[in-house]
Structure 1
Amino acid sequence: MTTATKSAYPVPVDDLLPQARQLSEDLGEVPSRNRLMSELRIGAKKANTLLDLLGTSTAQASPSLHLVSAADSQGAADEPTQPLAEDHDTEQIPEPEPVESGTADADEPEHPAPHSARESVGSEQVSVHASPEPSPVGRPVPRWPVLLLALPAFVAIWSGWVGLGGLTGFGIVHPLPGIWSGFEVNTAITLPIGVETYAAYALRVWLSGRVPYRARRFAKISALGSLGLGALGQIAYHLMTAAGMTTAPWWITTVVACLPVAVLGMGAALTHLLHTDPPEVSP
């Protein structure tokens, strides 16, 4: 029976393997882990590595010996490991022992590659977005009720603006003097046509959702402003009529006189934004 040469440095597994084989031949079987640790003065990790190498070599030489050694090693693994009385003056075994790369790789758990995981997640997302569920298509909502609702509102708004125009100085003019002297136009109709038509147009642009962002934002602000201004005009006309006034105050006349110019500016600005802005629908 041979023992390992005492040294102050750990002996590699390749140098210990011939001694372990010699010990196995002397015993007539594969030694246990504790026997290897005691005879060769090595740690548990090196003993397990030597057992694996001895089991592989003996299995190739004699299958029956491999079976016996496996059972012995299993029984030895169940036995409690006793601490070894080592001569620390002559030999120092640092812990932990270096392990071969193959054994370390075998002990590490297998993890899926992150690249493959990203590919699987990406393929699932692509499949989800590539095949969306078809949205249910219903019957279109008829538009004729809107016309029925707008007719009385149009009559009331028209009469209110024309009446307010008469109170603020709007009246009959001859646009073609000397050419068609009999042609007359009441300028009061410019108020309902300009203010209310622009309000409806800007409201349509705002709610369509198919125009550039700046144009939609401008349409929203100007549409709400036009509708609010129209409501104030109707209020002013009815209050002055109820009070028996035949002429509007100067500040109401000033605001009403500026309405055609304001409508022209807002319409031109909205048209400019619709045709010159980038095609982005959202900011």
Structure 2
Amino acid sequence: MTATTTARSAYPPNVDDLVPRAVDLARELGEVPSRNKLMKTFRVGADKAKALREALDRLAEQDKFRSDLHLHLVSRGSLAEAPLLHLAPALPADPDEAAEVPGAAAAVLPLPLTPTDPGPEATPEPAPSQISLADQPAGRPVTWPVLILCLPAFVAIWGGWVEMGRLTGFGRVKLLPGIADSFEIDTAITLPIGVETYAAFALFVWLSGRAMGDAREFAKYSALGSLALGALGQIAYHLMAAAGWTSAPWPITAAVSCIPVAVLGMGAALAHLMHHR
């Protein structure tokens, strides 16, 4: 629903000429418009809007105007068996004057509107001068410093896991024996790639909000577990390196050898949960 608007003219109309259009505006709004609304719609001054509002108030006191307005709203579907229009007291434009009007703050019109017709003044937009900086939309968050933070962490974590792999039996193997005997790979790199990559992926699934229910819960606890496992691996390696050990004790070797299998299982489980959420 749009209220009646009047273009600016070089000869402003007088109050008598504006009364019929103000009555139409009241029927569109479902209430007697306020002085500010009349000023904005018909582009008149405060004095003329006040006089126009007083004219509408006098007309509204007549039963014929109230009945016609009520029947008009019922016919267009804005009212359904609603009581006749009750007028609210006119609110002065000055806030200090509004405080002196008895019942002005709590005055309402019992005209129930349909959910699809909230009314033209249901959600008034604040003036540009009244919008604070806190109401301004936030820009895209800056994430590039994370890349700088990742560089030293990558070097330390990668080197720690690779050396841990060598202490626990990981080393160079022929990946395609009998097919390409010269093609060898150091299996120690599987530890940093598997553990830390899964931890970062699970953190993303948990905190990004792209997964819900069981998938989000699994991502949360497996991410925390992977980070804890990575921290323990780094601690174990540095302790053994500081002590001058050339090989890890068998419990550590047994635990580290199971990491690639555990990472594969957690990654597959998380992917299935995300596709069945």
Matched, 1:266 2:266: yes
Q: Which amino acid aligns with 2:143?
A: R
Greater Rg over alpha carbons, structure: 1
Alignment of 1:112-127 (within 5 A): none
Alignment of 1:72-221 (within 5 A): 136-221=136-221
Residues paired across the two proteins, number:
157
Q: Which amino acid aligns with 1:138?
A: A
- The 1:217/1:122 distance shift into structure 2, 3 A limit, reads farther
Cross-structure match for 2:249: 249
TM-score (norm 1): 0.51
SS at match of 1:142: coil
- The 1:208/1:121 distance shift into structure 2, 3 A limit, reads farther
- The 1:140/1:242 distance shift into structure 2, 3 A limit, reads same
Q: Which runs of 5+ in 2 are unaligned?
A: 1-110, 126-133
Deviations 1:126-151 (A, max 9, x none): 89xx9699963222122221000001
Q: Which amino acid aligns with 2:233?
A: G
SS at match of 1:246: coil
Deviations 1:102-153 (A, max 9, x none): xxxxxxxxxxxxxxxxx96997xx89xx969996322212222100000110
SS at match of 1:173: strand
Residue identity over aligned pairs, in percent, reads 66
Alignment of 1:32-111 (within 5 A): none
Alignment of 1:6-21 (within 5 A): none
Q: Which amino acid aligns with 1:217?
A: E
Alignment of 1:14-33 (within 5 A): none
Cross-structure match for 1:235: 235
Q: Which amino acid aligns with 2:146?
A: V
- The 1:131/1:260 distance shift into structure 2, 3 A limit, reads farther
Q: Which runs of 5+ in 1 are unaligned?
A: 1-118, 278-283
SS at match of 1:237: helix
Aligned mates of 1:121, 1:156 — CA distance in 2: 65
Aligned mates of 1:242, 1:161 — CA distance in 2: 15
Deviation of 1:180 (Å) = 1.1
- The 1:136/1:157 distance shift into structure 2, 3 A limit, reads same
Aligned mates of 1:250, 1:131 — CA distance in 2: 70
Aligned mates of 1:251, 1:152 — CA distance in 2: 29
Matched, 1:222 2:222: yes
